[in-house]
Chains A and B, each alone.
Chain A
Amino acid sequence: MKGRQTERIIRGFLYLIIAAFLLWAYRSGAFQFILDNPDDLLYLLKQHIELVALSSFLAVMVSVPVGILVTRPRFRKYAWIAVNTANIGQTIPSLAVLALVLTYFGIGYFTAVFALWVYSLLPILRNTIAGIENINPSIIDAGKGMGMTSRQILWRLELPNALYAILAGIRTSIVINVGTAALAFLIGGGGLGDLIFTGISLYDTGIMLAGALPVTLLAITLDYVLGKAEKWIIPKGLQRNLDHV
């Protein structure tokens, strides 16, 4: 097959570029900083992960329940407010959110967590609402008609069937959060952004890459792992949808 061959060539070429880049980075002494200061790197990496974990966890804890709440019949009339807020909020650049939070709370760890939390809320909220609202109404009608209580409908029908969308929202949010957390250094959050910004201001390739490469790896790895986790968690009957994405 001609297509497969082209694909293999391109794939090989891409691996080659990455290998060449890493070799070049090594030769130009880029890893020297990492080798010389492994403790610094580990400390900042840990800080970075903590920032992301804490703010993302809090975002999930708030967004999913709020998303469920606004899709209840009583509040459904107001769901559009949440959807529009989420859409508009996601249009605002991350740096602007961080900067605005900074001017209210001043520099510090709390500011960083709060800003990351705010920016992580919206993708999860939007996907939770969309996931629940996009469920085929006949499924809910059947559940109701068969005598499920509203709590049973939520737990047995709505949440399992919206799970794909909700998890996708959480994944997107976390991956974005890894990148935004690299900016959190600017407002007192620490993390790997420390090395990147220091490297830029000192124009030091080694320091720059010592921050940039781990952040990149962290984002790509998390994206991959969370993608695998989705397949684990999502009910088998809905896995068909995964193949199309």
Chain B
Amino acid sequence: MIRFKNVTKTYESENKSVTAVDNVSLEVEAGHICVFLGPSGCGKTTLLRMVNRLIPITSGTIEINGKEIQSFDVIELRRSIGYVIQQTGLFPNMTIEENICVVPQLLGWDRVKMKQRYNELMDMMGLNPDEYRNRYPWELSGGQQQRIGVARALAADPPVMLMDEPFGALDPIIRERLQNEFLRIQGDVKKTILFVSHDIDEAIKLGDTIAIFQAGRLMQHGTPDEILANPQDQFVSEFVGNDRALKRLTLFTVRELLKKAGSGTGKASANKLAATSQVHVDANLRTALSVILSSDTGEAAVVDDQGQSVAVLRLADFESFTGIHPKRLTSIVQ
């Protein structure tokens, strides 16, 4: 668990002081991803870099698993925290294997163990260990480099990871693929992760919780659903966007909707529907909504893994679940 208590950072220059982080208190549960979200210059990166003491704290405390970070030796602290940055920061003079084994090597692991760990991590990243072992960072694509960056941060199996816009420089398709892989890996490793982003969609997708910052202050901290459903103030609601209702739909699957609604819709008519108006039971509600809106009948057949239709979904079903009137939903989409 990571706990920020009244954390403040002020930069003193000759005749004025600038507050980059203003009295932030925040708790992130073990095994959770907390996304620090906000416009550039809002203090999110500063806050992140205070955790591994790359930036000294002006006042307040940060605790990792109940232990104050100032009580650690700074070098040991950093070696026990994974760190991933946007520009990858891969060392151009080292091979991929050397890059990944930097921290294990600093910690004095033996060769066999390091090699084993390298193979393990590359498998985890979906890259062939032997193909890349002796290659250099510049020979890799941006997406591959960032995978190596994540693998490197995971190398010594640190309980905590700091990620500063790790996917920010990638093109959208690669970014989405890496986000999915990242979620899959996190499902296995269950690290406590602080993740800086300026992209609301990324935050909704990756975050167990989202912390929104503006001008150094924490505006709201909550699950993506809480933030989308109840933005605390004008700034948050503008930042998450007018289509937040729609974004919220991505958080839920058709299955969850059906469970809640008690699947009161008739089964009989389902088979008459055209094949194009089908939606999988595990698809998110946003996908389901667009299927319904593009079908002629205003209905979509919900199908399971076997392709059997289990229910029919109509626009009206959304209202009971999201509390948004169908007309508003339609207007948002269009």
Contact = CB atoms under 8 A, between A and B. Distances in A.
A138 B89 contact: yes
Interface in B39-87: 49, 52, 54, 75-81, 83, 85-87
B229 interface: no
A147 B77 contact: yes
A244 interface: no
A228 to B, nearest CB: 20
Interface string B101-121: 011001000000000000000
B266 interface: no
Contacts of B138: 237, 240
Interface residues of A, number: 22
A160 B83 contact: no
Interface of A: 136, 138-139, 141-149, 152, 156-157, 160-161, 235-238, 240
Contacts of A237: 91-95, 136-138
A131 B270 CA distance: 70
20 contacts: A138-B89, A142-B83, A142-B90, A142-B91, A143-B91, A145-B49, A145-B78, A145-B83, A145-B85, A146-B106, A146-B153, A147-B75, A147-B77, A147-B79, A149-B75, A157-B91, A161-B93, A237-B94, A238-B92, A238-B93
Contacts of B54: 141, 144-145
Nearest to B103: A146
Contacts of B106: 146-148, 152
Contacts of B78: 144-147
A37 B89 CA distance: 60
Interface of B: 49, 52, 54, 75-81, 83, 85-95, 102-103, 106, 136-138, 152-153, 162
A160 B93 contact: yes
A240 to B, nearest CB: 6
Contacts of B152: 146
A138 B88 CA distance: 7
Contacts of A157: 91, 93
Given A141-B54, A147-B77, 15 more contacts: A141-B89, A142-B88, A144-B78, A145-B49, A145-B78, A146-B79, A146-B102, A146-B152, A147-B80, A156-B91, A157-B93, A235-B94, A237-B95, A240-B136, A240-B138
Contacts, number: 76
A138 B168 CA distance: 14
B27 to A, nearest CB: 23
A122 B222 CA distance: 58
Nearest to A239: B136
B136 A139 contact: no
A149 B86 CA distance: 22
Q: Chain A CB within 10 Å — which of B88, B89, B102 has the most?
A: B89
A144 B49 CA distance: 11
B94 A145 contact: no
Contacts of B89: 138-139, 141-143, 145
B83 A146 contact: yes
B162 A145 contact: yes
Nearest to A234: B93
Nearest to A150: B75
Contact of A235 (B79, B83, B93, B162): B93
A176 B122 CA distance: 49
A236 B103 CA distance: 21
Contact of A145 (B52, B88, B95): B52
Contact of A142 (B75, B79, B80, B85): B85
A160 B137 CA distance: 15
Contacts of A156: 91
